[in-house]
Amino acid sequence: MACCRITAGGGRLMLFSGKIVYHGSRLILAAVFIYSGLIKIQDVAAFAGEIANYQLFPYAWNYLIAAILPYLELLCGVLLLINRRVRPAVMVLTLLNLVFIVVLVSALSRGLDISCGCFNPDSANHNSLSTALWRDLGLLVLMVGTWVLHGIRCRLEVE
């Protein structure tokens, strides 16, 4: 990356603490989405079943979404892990997360008794939809933080 020079003065402390928070958020997001992607890739059909439970898409489209989504999560997670193309990866994950939040709210409002399908597509392992919603809101905070701190860090280092 081009942004790699530390400035003197008060910016240095801000830069240091910002760096810690930035890398912490980035690595947490990377771990979550690499895990999430890998576990879904192992059983795409089961993940399609989890998506179908939300009753939002035409039947066959659940399979198309289930085939693509895990690879997108995995790709973005890997980019965050290696600290490359961070903002495009965060943009994709933020949009996905917003969609997940809308879908979860929709399922909760319809009173669906289903597994959230967020990680392990195993029907015996039912995750609470409200827990998943809170988790997604937490991830959203990390995503916004990573996006903002990446920009600040670059500006401080470039100046």
Partner 1 sequence: MNNAAIGSPLQRIFLEALVLCVFAAVVGISLNYQLIFNAFSGKTVAVPTVAVVAVPDVASDNAAPIAPLPFPVELDELESLLAAGAVLVDARSASAYRQEHLSGAVSLPFAEVESKLDNFKQQVDLKRTLIAYCSGYGCPDSFDLGVILLQAGYAEVLVYEGGEPEWRAAGLPLVGGD
Which residues lie near partner 1 (CB under 8 A)? 43-50, 52-53, 55, 58-60, 62-64, 66-72, 74-76, 79, 85, 87-89, 91-92, 95, 111, 113-114, 121, 123
Residue closer to partner 1, measured from CB, 113 or 159: 113
Tokens of 111: 């009173």
As a whole number of angstroms, the distance between CA 112 and CA 108 comes to 6
Contacts for 137 with CB less than 8 Å, ≥ 6 apart: 101
Q: Taking the complex as a whole, how short is the minimal distance between the CB of residue 3 and partner 1, in angstroms?
A: 13
Q: Taking the complex as a whole, how short is the minimal distance between the CB of residue 72 and partner 1, in angstroms?
A: 4
As a whole number of angstroms, the distance between CA 30 and CA 13 comes to 25
As a whole number of angstroms, the distance between CA 76 and CA 73 comes to 5
Provide the residue type at 128 as one letter.
Answer: S
Residue closer to partner 1, measured from CB, 76 or 118: 76
Residue closer to partner 1, measured from CB, 9 or 59: 59
